Structure 1
């Protein structure tokens, strides 16, 4: 991840010590094991108390799997850790995302508004579990099954944004070709289109389709997001080939704001877009 502000770049987020098997994840695992042993609990006994198998507990303790926030809360209480494990929760949570996306994920989680232009795949916030799993399985180089499941869990957890109150305003512009790509197979695509329809009916969500036959197109440079942070600052996020940047410079922000505004005028309206998705479902 890079921050770009008026042409100056400051690398952030590239923290290999946060990856599974090292850094904060290993430190958490060692602390967890010490607390469990101090409590006189075997892994199986402890697992029953927190709702996880002994094998999962071993993976957490050895730093091979990143523990979810719910587990950390439960473990801290069961082991009488007094907040020691909870204190690491935020850093551990960062490690659940690939390094290039961590800072964007943090901003997204508390955003007041999001504008998302998707040209390659259905946006992660709208993805079904089956669709997301198919996307991760297609990644090259191939991801380990454990990494796929971890990233899947993290992606689905991001969708808690739809339940936040006050509800953030969410705008999505999706290329028609994306809605036609049978990623994971026709059945998976059908379930994904149904998900788009369902989410698109929320009052705080607008989904628009950019038809392929449009002669004018304002964003041929690729996908991007605009994030209205909790601080009131607007930030842009761009990503290609796992190389991402957060832009805070006024010139770049205004450029992308202008592009998004033109895209909205070129795309189908929200009601036309949902009708278009229903039509695609009928064709299937």
Structure 2
């Protein structure tokens, strides 16, 4: 079934064109300029992914290079191109901007996903999407986690154990592996140049919670010790005998971007929020300062982690 759209030329419209769902034809037609969709199929197949790949290759970018530019992993770009994952609006906007094809990608997304619920193609990016987009380019990250090791510190086996436990509905093996792969790709920023400044505060109970079994936990502890040797990584442990501290309500991540913007991402049992405005942002920075002051020093934390690992 053809898709009808108009292609702008100069200040006016050059009329309507009709193309089939043949991917190459669609890509070349839409590449002519920004489109306004008038009618078409209710649900396409893989046209958006094909169009994304067309513009990516036209720009001489690999999936990894495009992902790095827009704050997504190589596997996320690949899944969108294969039609295995519906793109969020943030992805569409960032990819379009990076490739000079924002109008075309948005138009085809609207054709291909007309029945998408709000959380599939939202007008505003989700909190997690916003965070992931900023994380890859961050100049500094300060993280507090109260249940498990932070994602950036996780080994592959530990990440797999995290994604297999505590989720409802229970994810299938393929979904778990996709999530693990994405998490491992995010870790590349630890060795990025220029290096980001990374600080982590985690609960002492995390050191003894045997997610994935004793061998998995022991390997995770040694991995954390290795990372703590890096000059730009600081790891602090919050002692379990502390009566109270301001992190008990949930996880907190603070980012500073390359252009010196300050952002915060908080997670609780039922919700998450991405915060960019004062006074909340200032209050959360103050909260993190208190957490760091109450936690063990990096040296004392490393000694404690070593002791726990030796006892496993």
State TM-score, norm by structure 1. 0.68
**Higher RCO (C-alpha 8 Å, min separation 6):** 1
Shift, 1:196, TM fit:
0.7
Shift in CA distance, 135/250, structure 1 to aligned 2, threshold 3 Å = same
RMSD of aligned residue pairs (Cα, Å): 3.3
Whether the 8 Å contact between 2:146 and 2:248 is mirrored in structure 1 is no
1:63 to 43, 58, 83: 83
Structure 2 gaps of 5+ residues are 1-42, 56-78, 87-98, 110-119
What is the aligned partner in structure 2 of residue 56 from structure 1?
none
Q: For 2:171, which of 133, 138, 143 is the aligned residue?
A: 143
Structure with greater proportional helix content:
1
Determine if contact 2:198/2:234 at 8 Å carries over to the other structure: yes
Unaligned runs of 5+ in 1: 1-22, 36-58, 67-81
> How far apart in 2 are the matches of 1:27 and 1:235?
35
The yes-or-no answer on 1:184 pairing with 2:212 is yes
Paired with 2:223 and 2:284, the residues of 1 have a C-alpha distance of 28
Give 1:83 shift: 10
| Matched residue SS, 1:122 | coil
Q: Deviations over 1:201-221 (max 9, x none)?
A: 100000000010123423222
**Cα distance in structure 2, aligned partners of 1:271 and 1:25:** 55
Q: Secondary structure at the match of 2:188?
A: helix
Counterpart Cα distance in 1 of 2:130 and 2:223: 27
Equivalent residues in 2 for 1:65-80, closer than 5 Å: none
| SS of residue matched to 1:230 | coil
Aligned residues: 218
- Give 1:32 shift: 8.5
Q: 2:134 aligns with which of 107, 110, 121?
A: 107
Once residues 180 and 25 of structure 1 are traced to their aligned partners in structure 2, the CA distance between those partners, rounded to angstroms, is: 47
SS of equivalent residue, structure 1 residue 245: strand
**In the TM superposition, what is the alpha-carbon distance from 1:178 to its structure 2 partner?**
1.2
Displacement after TM superposition at 1:259 (Å): 1.2
- 1:24/1:243 CA distance change after superposition, 3 Å: farther
**1:136–1:100 Cα change, 3 Å:** farther
Q: Does the C-alpha gap of structure 1 residues 31 and 182 become closer, same or farther in structure 2, counting only changes over 3 Å? A: same
Considering only CA atoms, is the larger Rg found in Structure 1 or Structure 2?
2
Contact preservation (8 Å) 2:140, 2:257 = yes
Contact 1:216/1:266, CA 8 A, preserved across alignment: no
1:194, 1:249 → 2: CA distance? 38
Mapping for residues 147-186 of structure 1, pairs under 5 Å: 147-186=175-214
CA displacement, residues 108-133 of structure 1 (integer Å, 9 cap, x when unaligned): 10001010001011100000000111
In structure 2, the residue matched to 1:11 is none
2:157 corresponds to which residue? 130
TM-score by length of 2: 0.62
